[in-house]
Every structure is written in structure tokens, then in C-alpha cells.
Amino acid sequence: MSTPNRSPQSSVPLERIDDCTWRIPKSTRPGMLVDGLIFADDNLIDLVRSDRAADQVANVAHLPGIQTASLAMPDIHWGYGFCIGGVCATDPAAGGVISPGGVGYDINCGVRLLRTNLTLDEARPTIQRLVDQLMRDVPVGVGQGGRYVYSADELRAMMAAGVCWLADRGLATADDVACTEAEGRIPDPEPALVGDRALARGADQCGTVGAGNHFIEVQVVDRVADEAAAAAFGLHAGQICVLIHSGSRGLGYQVCDDALKDLRDTPRKYGIELPDRQLVCAPLESPEGRRYLGAMRAAANYAFCNRQLLAWQVREVFARVFGRSWESLGMTLLYDVAHNIAKVERHAVGGVEKDVCVHRKGATRAFPAGHHDIPDAYRHVGQPVIIPGDMGRASWVLRGGPRSMERSFGTTCHGAGRCLSRTAATKASKGRDIARELERAGVIARSRSRDGLAEEQPAAYKHVDLVVEVVHRAGLSSKVARLRPLGVIKG
């Protein structure tokens, strides 16, 4: 696939709508079917303009069947096809398409947050030992396999059933299933469409972290913004939690790669003109579109299982270090959310309820209180939303906001968002010891690779507090609690 000519600055106009929303008018470029809308404020808009991610928002507005607007969250930055932070909904009844570039290579990259009943005072003396033990016991790094090895038939069964498949094998609890988005299983997967190469890559990678921006982080709740919601989520100041960030590993990457090859000539077949070949797509109701959807859903279910097995191993490490069972440590799952996914959901569009395919590329579902897809325990509060920041500052727990359905198809941001490329971040780290800098800031960091910490240093990311402030003010999600990192392992 060709890569667009990337200039340092966005080439599209941004018209201010309110204090945290900007419009790219559909008249900007021939072929745009809807406006582009970007959520940002005065603190972030210059970063939005600093690369061509906004141009990608305009490109997505060309997709057949797109509804309302092409959207981007405040953690927006350049991606493949869609920007990271890009959101769009397409209507299959109006010729709407599915685009792998709107999901990403790491299908169902996402996060889950484990609570504990430990306090900071209790855990502080063991943080370094805990991080070192996690580094020894949990596989991290490029291509790393783990202790859970599955045959092709087992993988197909796992992808068909999702996290329930692990529960049947004693590797997940009923609460783990209930507190995972979609109960750990995207409906209508088709594991038979996942190729042999993808199965081979995924055979020993379920229960592994991987590399890049994936991590396991020990955190403490350092601020509560909404006491009632925090109580409903089982969070309180001074509490130790664990945040896990990973996806579908090599299996999902291969599913995406195979789909891009399969769909290469599909737009021409259906008379679809695209401003960027990286937006290669197929009508949702076409054989090609159904094939990608079936395989993507299967890979998404693998990713839910990957994070579940990571959580299981984290529980075992905590039990070993503290000399108590994980149950007695209160290590229950708050929630697990997908970041890279396309899902058919029911939404009101122009006052009419319809089924649309919501692409979330580096974006998080954020359904408000009362929605039937929220677990019973949280339905009166809203869906838990977990927003990781960089490893030197903070992460946030929010809840689905009151305006998310009307403004963003029930979606919010997924993280802080990069402001430096990995190459630029590595260059900026020359002559510095990032691990030592983090230790001086109170964070024990371990990485499998020499460049892992340099690429992911705090300065490579926007400040998560600024990003969260935008979605909070826009009504997409509401602040509940802030978590500060204590220790992290990375690939």
C-alpha cells in the first residue's frame, strides 16, 4: 500500500465550533460526504495541526455510507489509513463499508484494570521486587512466546467462545467475563477465516505483552474526582491497582495484513474512489466485507483472552510476592475495554435508530449510564472507561459521558496520544538514562529492549490530564479517578 506524502503540518482548515470542538467542512475537498470533527482545546490544537492526522480525518469522510461526521479524539496522531483516535460509523443499508485501516494492525489492542485491597503504604516496600518478579514471570518483548501454547484447533475454539473458553479451563472467573467489554466475545466471529500463518504466530503468544507501547503497570489511586462513581467502581485514594495494555499480538497483525491483501482490488470492483489507498475497504454486505469482519472478530476475541491470561499471571505474581492468594488480595477486574475495533451497534442517527458499524481506531467505547450493554454493577453509573497515560505521569478512570451517544457514537479517547515519533523520542534520549530519570520520579521501569524506554519516555506523549479534560468537558466521558504509576514492565 502506498503511504501518503506526509508534510509537517495539516493542510485542511479547522473551524472552531466551541471550546473543545473543531470542524473540517465537507466542502474542503471534493468527495467528502460529511464534515470532519476533532475534539481538542487551546492546549492541544497546535499539536493537532503539527502533523497530517487531520488530513486523515478528512480522508475518512469520503468513505461510502459514513454517518454524521468523521470524528477524532483529542489524542489524535498520524496512523495507517485512519488517524489514531479516529472514529466513524457506516450504515450497511446505505452501502456502508468496513475498512481495516479503521481498526488497525493490532486488532483489539486494549486495556484492563485490576483492583487490589492493598494500600500504598503496604505495597511500597515491595514495589521493586514486584516489578522484577513481573519482568521474570510475564513474557514481554518482540516475538516473545509464553507458557500457554495452543494448537490450531484450540485457537479456533478460543476465538469462537472468547473469554468463556478460558473460564471453562479455570483461567477466568465469572466476574472476569462479566466485566470485559462484550463479555469477552465479539458476536459472530469466524475463526475458520483466520489463516494458517496467523494461527502459527498466535500459538504461543496468548498471555504475552509484546512490545511498543504495551505494558503492565502497578499504580496507585492518587486522586478521586467523583466519589460516588469511584465507590461504584471499587476505587479509593491510596489503593494499588494494575493496568494491563496489550492486544492480539502476531495473530491480529497477520489477520490485518492478510485482509489488506485480500481487499486490494475491492474498491475498484465496487466503484469506490478513495483519497488514500490505505483506506482500502469493502461494503459491509459484500463477501469481502463479511470475510474481514468474521476474521477481525475472531482476532478480537483472541485479544480479550490474551489480556485475561496476562491478568491471571499478574495475580499469580502478586500472590507469590505477598505470600497470600490473589483472592485475599482482592485482585478483581474493574473492566476491560477494546481500543482498535469495528462493531455493529444500534445508534440514533438523525433521530432514526439504526444498526451501524462503528470503527474505533485508538478510541474507547464510552456508553452512558443506563445503557443495556453495561454490566449490571455499573449500569447506574456508566461504563468504566480506562485511559492510560505515559509511564511517568498518570492514567485515568472515567465513566461514559452524558453526551457520548449524540456526539461520538458512544466513544471517547483511548490514551494520551503520541507527540513524538518513536524515532524522534529515541533521538531525544541520547545521552540520557530514562530508567534512572523515571526512578528519580518514583517509578521503577524495566524493559526487555534497549530502546523500549527511550521510545516510550514520558516526553513522547501528550499530558494525559489535558486530553482527559477535553473529553470531560465535551461530555464524552466523565472523570472518576486518577492513577499514578509506581512500576512498569515493557517490551
Identify the CA nearest to 104 among candidates 279, 331, 234: 279
Question: How would you classify the pairing of strands 477-490 and 444-447?
Answer: parallel
SS3 106: coil
Burial of 233 (0-12, 13-18, 19+ CB in 10 A): buried
Q: What is the biggest distance separating any 2 CA atoms in the chain, rounded to whole angstroms?
A: 65
User: In whole angstroms, what is the distance from residue 466 CA to residue 43 CA?
Assistant: 7
The enclosing H or E element of 199 equals helix 196-202
| 340-349: strand order across its sheet | 15-18, 21-24, 35-39, 69-77, 84-90, 352-361, 340-349
Long-range contacts of residues 370-376, Cβ cutoff 8 Å, at least 24 apart: 371/400, 371/410, 373/182, 374/400, 375/178, 375/179, 375/335, 376/178
User: In whole angstroms, what is the distance from residue 232 CA to residue 343 CA?
Assistant: 27
- Helices assigned H by DSSP within 265-379: 266-269, 287-322
SS3 74: strand
User: In whole angstroms, what is the distance from residue 101 CA to residue 111 CA?
Assistant: 20
User: In whole angstroms, what is the distance from residue 140 CA to residue 15 CA?
Assistant: 43
Are 433 and 447 within 8 A, CB to CB?
A: no
Known active-site residue 414: yes
Give the contacts of 245 (CB within 8 A, at least 6 positions apart). Answer: 109, 110, 111, 213, 214, 215, 216, 217, 388
- Pick the catalytic residue: 214, 414, 463, 472? 414
Give the contacts of 8 (CB within 8 A, at least 6 positions apart). Answer: 50, 51
Residues taking part in catalysis:
414
